[in-house]
Structure 1
Amino acid sequence: MKKNIKISVRNLIEFVMRSGDIDNSFKSTNRALEGTRAHQQVQKAYGKNYKAEVSLKYIFEYEEYSFEIEGRADGIYRLESTAIIDEIKSTTHDLKTIEKDFNPLHWAQAKVYGYIYSIQNDLEKIDIQITYFHIESEEIKKFKEEFTQEKLKDFLISLIEKYIDWAKLSFDWEYIRDESIESLNFPFKTYRNGQRELAVAVYKTIKEKKNLFTKAPTGIGKTMSTLFPAIKAMGEGKAKKIFYLTAKTITREVPVKSMNLLIDRGLKIKTIVLTAKDKICLNEEVKCNPRDCKFAKGHFDRVNDAIMDIFLNEDLIDREKIKEYSLKYHVCPFEFSLDISLWMDVIICDYNYVFDPQVYLKRFFDDLSYNYVFLVDEAHNLIDRSREMFSATLNKEKFYELRNKFKGKHVSIKKKIRKIDRLFDSLKQESNIVENFKSKQEFTEFYFPLKSLLTSLEPWLIEEKDDPDYEKVIEVYFDIVKYLKISELYDENYITEVKIQEDGMRLKLFCVNPSSLLRESLKRGVSSIFFSATLTPIDYYKNLLGEGEQDYHIRLTSPFPRENLSLLIRDNISTRYIDREESYRTIVEAIKTFTSVKRGNYFIFFPSYLYMKRIYEILEYDGLNILLQEQNMNEKNKEEFLEQFNNDDDLIAFGVLGGMFSEGIDLVGDKLIGAVIVGVGLPGISFERDIVKEYFNETTRKGFDYAYTYPGINKVLQAAGRVIRTEQDKGAILLIDDRFGTTKYRKLFPQEWKSSESVKNNKELSIKLQRFWNK
């Protein structure tokens, strides 16, 4: 039986034939936007016998391997006795400078398509044509050559022979990996309560190629309960790769630890952690071209050797390993990491590598359909993140600032900028916009001027890289590119909003409901597992995260002993904005009582920085050891803040609900014994939140809940989840807000909070805490 290896034509060509430098200097992004127009122009010239975007697939047997090769030819023109394989390339280069051998990769791709088509259609000879379409002048230049089927077969064999060592490496590794998976046991002696149930549900979901929405409290061991069954499914051929997706860098530490544990138990598997370009770059500045970066120069001449070395010697590849091998081989660490990922089994990365329409990993998702599995950690974060990914903004002031830039020989650019500037002014006047404005309609009159400006800016951006204002210009360029890209997605789930602010007028395509776009993104894999301790209420998250009719959901209860948590509620204090001045002193006394019953480290979470600082100003003279979260803390500040919990045993840390310390951190044992949560976590009232409210009032009649209540209770649950992290932890939580006593909020409490107790004053609070701590 032949060993099957599946690869796209593009990946085969680029991997075998790549050489030279990385050069991410500005190139026309507009070509992608104009690609459809290029194809249409070419198609018109040929007529009805021309077919565009033709999918081709072929199984080529070589030695003991069966290569399943597939891709899409840009166009095929069928003649009576032969055919033309047309590879279309849009360009801004002067067509006079483009010769036949302009880019060998263009010919290579077309020749592979030519071989597949000729053998499937019994053609002894076939024409291969490269068509260059100039996006500004719309002129076309073609190069055509006739090839015999035998000659094209020889070319494909030459590619396969260069790739065969990598194919053997990949196939041999899969055999080693799958053998280790078969003998792999769950890494702990026993399952925690709910852990086995979750693992079984994940395996079943992947097996059936569906999606699962999981509300799994802290302590169940969500990471291992999703990774382990996904890996087991991989060993049975049900998953080609596993993407473990996170919202924040810090949350990647947990899956890394889990993979290390499984590797220590005998698992043979290749895992990589992808790091953002700006965080892993070895150059002084992130400038990916051979002029400014020595690692970009000749990168493709050395990168395959680097991949082979790291693949043979490392199983878990993190940021430090990437940097180590990048220095050894003198290659770009970011591009190197993306290249290695093609050979990895488990990829730990940010949400945007799968969902963001601007930056998702096209090398995985554009050419082939594989059994990819997505494990979406802390899935409650994906709603706001996806709204951000699927939205786009234009700032009028940025255009205004560029107007004077383009004088003299760039008058045409200035005129186009002025036209867009006037469109902003007309919009403001005609819609009588004073501060905020919204519409269900697109302002389509912007689209053509924006596209026209892009076309004019491109030659300038290519030629004027040393201009002092270059970064400002390119920022506007990419703002336009994203805006036009998002405009293609605009439908009933969008609202167009206009804001007049101190920094100018903003026009935004706002994705209010990302569910349909997320649902489309999930088709890049065969199964997705959404999990979080705070997927409450689960129907809200299923609705917005793109649930399908056949998908599953599961709710699990906390595995920790109920008696280890004391949940107390001061539901006779209002923290509403109009009542805050009167609440400060009462809250200060409640905090002092709560933290004085037992010496230890506590976290106090507030609805805003302003509220937090006001309480701090009252408390700071009481001699307490208070640590205050600051705005815009960097990674070093954050580490120093958390280190205090290791050094102190009488710390009162002040933080903000929904901030960097209210989720994704582990302070186990005596590092944290209690938390006070002030308020119900409602997001601040804003124009955009009110847009969400109105939209969902029309569709679900739960507008306020979708915009404010549910995101707010999520912040509360996340903050409360910092207290009990292991079975040995014991801790207390105090919720302060009268709304926590209402039926509406009680229904949102998780099962383990059903034994909560109300306290009416500090004396009662102190008595209940003393009983709890003295048990």
Structure 2
Amino acid sequence: MENYSIEISVRRLVEFVLRSGSIDNRIHQVSADAMQEGSRIHRMIQKSMGPDYHAEVPLKYTYNTGRYDLIIEGRADGILDKFFNEASYDAQESLFEGGKDLPLVDEIKGTYRDLKKMKEPVEVHLAQAKCYAAIYLGQKNCPGIKVRMSYCNMDTEEMKYFDYKYSSEEITAWFENLIKKYLKWSDFEYEWDGIRTASIKAVQFPFSYREGQKDLAAGVYRTIIHGKKLFLEAPTGTGKTITTVFPTVKAMGEGKTSKIFYLTAKTITRTVAEDAYNTLRESQDLKFKTVTITARDKICFLEEDKRECNPEACPYANGHYDRINDAIYDLLTNEDSFDREKIVKYAQKHEVCPFEMSLDMSLWADGVICDYNYVFDPFVYLRRFFADGVKSDYVFLVDETHNLLDRGRDMYSAALRKESFLELKSTIKEFHPRIAGHLDKCNKELLELKRNCDGCTVVDSIEKFVNALNRLSGIISEYLEEHTTGPCREELLLFYFDISRFLTIYDKVDDHYVIYSEFAEDGSFILRLSCVDPSLNLAECMGRGRSSILFSATLLPIQYYKKLLGGTDEDFEIYAKSVFDPSRLGIFIGKDVTSRYSRRSSEQYYNIASYIHNIIKARGGNYLIFFPSHSFLDEVYDIYEKEFWDAGTTELLVQKSYMTEEARESFLDRFSQGNDVNLNEFIHMDIEVEEDRNILGFCVMGGIFSEGIDLKNDSLIGVIIVGTGIPLVCNEREILRNYFEEKGVDGFDYAYRYPGMNKVLQAAGRVIRTEEDKGVVALLDDRFTQAGYRALFPREWIKMKPVLTTSVKDAVSQFWCGFND
């Protein structure tokens, strides 16, 4: 590979090669708002240094290995050098001995620590400065260089300096030794790039193309080439995962992207992405490394009540950084799929934290499979890729995109509860009177807002409260930075996270936000920063990459999602044609029942239970029944169980409000295999059932069983959907409705109808999963007969039949009679 180069920043180089010691969450980490304050400190110091001080100096060093160039670059905070623009120095020995005219490289760090207690700089901070010094010295003919670490307390603006002087030979030798420690990693990257690229060029689509599938793949590829976004509605059966992964991998082989992020909303859909990559590896001999990032709580080796990320509590945290690079290299050179199982295996082998190891593996993986959070959430995103805000060539594949809207709103919103300030004040006042005083000042500002709140009130300005909150944040941060232990430290740390989130989100507030106050059901007073339109924030995140492919089986109406998820007129959209025969799906609309809150009654619950009974009588089998809420479910379930249930032929399963992963799998296993599994978490009674029995799963719309599950063939022959999925009226939804009304669009559609219908369509999509499948969808609500709802039906829903409680059995039977089996 000619003219091949590998780039690495100075910061990443020193932090990777020189890291050591333990993971310790007791050591306070600087928050996002503190980082912004640190930038202000940088600018303040730089401006005070005079005309010979040059700020933010870009530096680059190229190390030629004989096969490729290793390019190390970064920006020095400051260089003090009166010969800055000259090419040479008087290289007399006396110049170095006196040091008077030697250039000085300055590295500035903001901190809340007590500077009087600092005896030496942080090792990686000094190493950064030394790298800049070595690079700068290499550009000058000078016998030596000075290095200064400048620490500034961000609260008091007090300064402390650590000064060093190095000869040219000394700093050069140190820098070259640092580079040599990294060469085994860059050598691997160079060699793997050649292997991967050659394999990609040979890869073919692993299946016979279904109708329209080749055009979809081509559309994805063109979108990446043009650096745009694609909003893709791909109904079940279009193979949207492999159809998006394959062309993106091909684009990597053409040098259009260096990393692919496959983003999901739910854990269960990550296995689909893993399967797609494994298919290409196994059937096409693709050489491609992928990592799956599993949430810390789900992969931690410690028991739930003993999880603490510090060396005293966790043996995997103790000395983690001393062992992690060996663990990474072991996994990197022996496996291509760094899934949860492999991460756990190698983390146990090397006694390192599995979660932190998975994050590190993302640096070396070609594809990263992870939750939306790791790209979009301002508090969780992968800083190793996105912290500097520089646009890269990454491609984001956003699966189940319909989920991103509400998730985006949550990620970019924040709230604080007034009573939390009083509770913390009461807890800490004996130990931390200064902090307690500032808690009281914040509470007084919230009290003023509370007096003006009429149940739910939009607030024009909260500047006074934010000013008080900023002062409180600085004081708590100072304490946490100076004390790894102490009375009420855990309470202060958790509260600090809450107020830091609020302040960070407040910096983002613009006309896409509504600030409002409200009283919770328990009477507590809450101040909310609500991101009602996350399009700007999401677009900013996607702007860090080259292209984004946003796809789902349900993106109707597509312009609604395109607008609110950060799309522009220049971005592309595709509605993929379903490959399934629409006559194999029977759609029945129950027009004599409703889930309207105002009309809920025992009679309605009984009629819905009758519908369920009559549909099952028409054709026995496995059904999922979706309700608008757990309470609605319970009402209908009780009637069905008492009036219609035949315990000998039918098994009833109920989705609980909380279910473990094991319980979810067992629930689904009853449909797919009928195995004898422990159902204690969700079955209502122990019964003897016949071998050939019906299984009815009572579930909640929008819950864990309404999307992302794949029950094929006779595992599921019907879905019964009760209601239009419309959210209950609440302050949050009314805020949304009013906001969009003011923007000139239908607020009811945006706040209620569109989100509700998406839940309906997701639930309905559970039925037809393969070309051999056939089944029914029963929509039980008279509102489905209205034009506003029918306009949101998929275009392949062509066989719709209105029914009554008394006629549904015959109608469903007639549908099934159309099939020989």
Indicate which of 679, 694, 698 corresponds to 2:742. 698
- CA positional deviation for 1:503: 5.6
Q: Which amino acid aligns with 2:571?
A: D
Counterparts of residues 120-199 of structure 1 (less than 5 Å)? 126-147=145-166, 152-188=171-207, 190-199=208-217
**For each residue in 1:706-733, what CA deviation from the matched residue of structure 2 results, as whole angstroms up to 9, or x when unmatched?**
1111101100000000001111111111
- Structure 2 counterpart of 1:493: 512
- CA positional deviation for 1:72: 3.2
- CA positional deviation for 1:135: 2.5
- CA positional deviation for 1:59: 3.7
Hey, what's the Cα distance between the residues in 2 that align with 1:324 and 1:567? 48
- Structure 2 counterpart of 1:374: 396
- CA positional deviation for 1:452: 1.8
- Structure 2 counterpart of 1:219: 237
Task: Tell me whether 1:79 sits opposite 2:82 in the alignment.
Answer: yes
Task: Tell me whether 1:438 sits opposite 2:441 in the alignment.
Answer: no
Hey, what's the Cα distance between the residues in 2 that align with 1:200 and 1:240? 19
- Structure 1 counterpart of 2:7: 6
SS of alignment partner, residue 519 of structure 2:
strand
SS of alignment partner, residue 109 of structure 2:
strand
Indicate which of 318, 337, 341 corresponds to 1:297. 318
**For each residue in 1:524-557, what CA deviation from the matched residue of structure 2 results, as whole angstroms up to 9, or x when unmatched?**
2111100000011000000011013321111012
- Structure 2 counterpart of 1:672: 716
> Relative to 1, partners in 2 of residues 1:731 and 1:42: Cα closer, same or farther, differing over 3 Å?
same
> Relative to 1, partners in 2 of residues 1:702 and 1:124: Cα closer, same or farther, differing over 3 Å?
farther
Indicate which of 93, 96, 115 corresponds to 2:113. 93
Q: Which amino acid aligns with 2:5?
A: N
Q: Which amino acid aligns with 1:556?
A: A
- Structure 1 counterpart of 2:496: 477
SS of alignment partner, residue 586 of structure 1:
helix
- Structure 2 counterpart of 1:641: 667
- Structure 2 counterpart of 1:579: 599
- Tell me if the contact between 1:436 and 1:687 (Cα under 8 Å) persists in the aligned partners: yes
- CA positional deviation for 1:488: 1.0
Q: What percentage of residue pairs aligned between the two structures are identical? A: 46
Task: Tell me whether 1:349 sits opposite 2:375 in the alignment.
Answer: no
- Tell me if the contact between 2:26 and 2:485 (Cα under 8 Å) persists in the aligned partners: no
Task: Tell me whether 1:593 sits opposite 2:596 in the alignment.
Answer: no
- Tell me if the contact between 1:609 and 1:656 (Cα under 8 Å) persists in the aligned partners: yes
Hey, what's the Cα distance between the residues in 1 that align with 2:701 and 2:298? 27
Q: Which amino acid aligns with 2:37?
A: E
TM-score by length of structure 1 reads 0.95
Q: Which moved further from structure 2: 629-638 or 346-355?
A: 629-638
Hey, what's the Cα distance between the residues in 1 that align with 2:727 and 2:612? 23
**For each residue in 1:618-664, what CA deviation from the matched residue of structure 2 results, as whole angstroms up to 9, or x when unmatched?**
11122243222121222222222222212174011111111111111
- Tell me if the contact between 1:676 and 1:735 (Cα under 8 Å) persists in the aligned partners: yes
Indicate which of 200, 205, 208 corresponds to 2:226. 208
- Structure 1 counterpart of 2:472: 453
Hey, what's the Cα distance between the residues in 2 that align with 1:628 and 1:611? 12
- Structure 1 counterpart of 2:807: 763
> Relative to 1, partners in 2 of residues 1:124 and 1:516: Cα closer, same or farther, differing over 3 Å?
farther
Indicate which of 518, 535, 540 corresponds to 2:560. 540
Indicate which of 754, 769, 776 corresponds to 1:732. 776
Hey, what's the Cα distance between the residues in 1 that align with 2:10 and 2:286? 32
**For each residue in 1:147-169, what CA deviation from the matched residue of structure 2 results, as whole angstroms up to 9, or x when unmatched?**
56665544432222111111111
- Structure 2 counterpart of 1:270: 289
- Tell me if the contact between 2:417 and 2:524 (Cα under 8 Å) persists in the aligned partners: yes
- Structure 1 counterpart of 2:92: none
Indicate which of 530, 540, 559 corresponds to 2:550. 530
Indicate which of 242, 258, 274 corresponds to 1:256. 274
**For each residue in 1:420-478, what CA deviation from the matched residue of structure 2 results, as whole angstroms up to 9, or x when unmatched?**
1111111112x2x1422123x34011222212222322354456666674433222111
- Tell me if the contact between 2:52 and 2:81 (Cα under 8 Å) persists in the aligned partners: yes
SS of alignment partner, residue 772 of structure 1:
helix
Task: Tell me whether 1:69 sits opposite 2:67 in the alignment.
Answer: no
- Tell me if the contact between 1:271 and 1:317 (Cα under 8 Å) persists in the aligned partners: yes
**For each residue in 1:665-706, what CA deviation from the matched residue of structure 2 results, as whole angstroms up to 9, or x when unmatched?**
111111100011111110111101111111111224221111
> Relative to 1, partners in 2 of residues 1:272 and 1:328: Cα closer, same or farther, differing over 3 Å?
same
- Tell me if the contact between 2:582 and 2:798 (Cα under 8 Å) persists in the aligned partners: no
Q: Which moved further from structure 2: 38-47 or 487-496?
A: 38-47
- CA positional deviation for 1:227: 0.6
- Structure 1 counterpart of 2:679: none
- CA positional deviation for 1:26: 3.6
- Structure 1 counterpart of 2:657: 631
SS of alignment partner, residue 600 of structure 2:
helix
- Tell me if the contact between 2:11 and 2:74 (Cα under 8 Å) persists in the aligned partners: yes
- Tell me if the contact between 1:649 and 1:671 (Cα under 8 Å) persists in the aligned partners: no
> Relative to 1, partners in 2 of residues 1:416 and 1:562: Cα closer, same or farther, differing over 3 Å?
same
SS of alignment partner, residue 381 of structure 2:
coil
Hey, what's the Cα distance between the residues in 1 that align with 2:350 and 2:227? 40
Q: Which amino acid aligns with 2:277?
A: M
> Relative to 1, partners in 2 of residues 1:124 and 1:243: Cα closer, same or farther, differing over 3 Å?
farther
- Structure 2 counterpart of 1:17: 18
Indicate which of 735, 748, 754 corresponds to 1:710. 754
SS of alignment partner, residue 240 of structure 1:
coil
Q: Which amino acid aligns with 2:627?
A: F
Q: How many residues align?
A: 770
Counterparts of residues 48-59 of structure 1 (less than 5 Å)? 50=53, 52-59=55-62
Listed as ranges, the gaps of 5+ residues in structure 2 are 85-101, 675-691
SS of alignment partner, residue 69 of structure 2:
strand
Hey, what's the Cα distance between the residues in 2 that align with 1:475 and 1:618? 45
- Structure 1 counterpart of 2:48: 45
- Tell me if the contact between 1:88 and 1:130 (Cα under 8 Å) persists in the aligned partners: yes
Task: Tell me whether 1:428 sits opposite 2:472 in the alignment.
Answer: no
Hey, what's the Cα distance between the residues in 2 that align with 1:78 and 1:359? 40
> Relative to 1, partners in 2 of residues 1:201 and 1:78: Cα closer, same or farther, differing over 3 Å?
farther
SS of alignment partner, residue 19 of structure 1:
coil
Q: Which moved further from structure 2: 78-87 or 670-679?
A: 78-87
> Relative to 1, partners in 2 of residues 1:369 and 1:7: Cα closer, same or farther, differing over 3 Å?
farther
- CA positional deviation for 1:493: 0.7
**For each residue in 1:258-277, what CA deviation from the matched residue of structure 2 results, as whole angstroms up to 9, or x when unmatched?**
11111111111111110111
Q: Which moved further from structure 2: 286-295 or 710-719?
A: 286-295
- Structure 2 counterpart of 1:555: 575
> Relative to 1, partners in 2 of residues 1:14 and 1:464: Cα closer, same or farther, differing over 3 Å?
closer
> Relative to 1, partners in 2 of residues 1:746 and 1:722: Cα closer, same or farther, differing over 3 Å?
same
SS of alignment partner, residue 751 of structure 1:
coil
- Structure 1 counterpart of 2:93: none
- Tell me if the contact between 1:29 and 1:481 (Cα under 8 Å) persists in the aligned partners: no
- Structure 2 counterpart of 1:321: 342
- Structure 2 counterpart of 1:414: 436
Task: Tell me whether 1:365 sits opposite 2:386 in the alignment.
Answer: yes
- Tell me if the contact between 1:39 and 1:52 (Cα under 8 Å) persists in the aligned partners: no
Counterparts of residues 651-690 of structure 1 (less than 5 Å)? 651-690=695-734
> Relative to 1, partners in 2 of residues 1:768 and 1:321: Cα closer, same or farther, differing over 3 Å?
closer
SS of alignment partner, residue 437 of structure 1:
strand
- Tell me if the contact between 2:113 and 2:481 (Cα under 8 Å) persists in the aligned partners: no
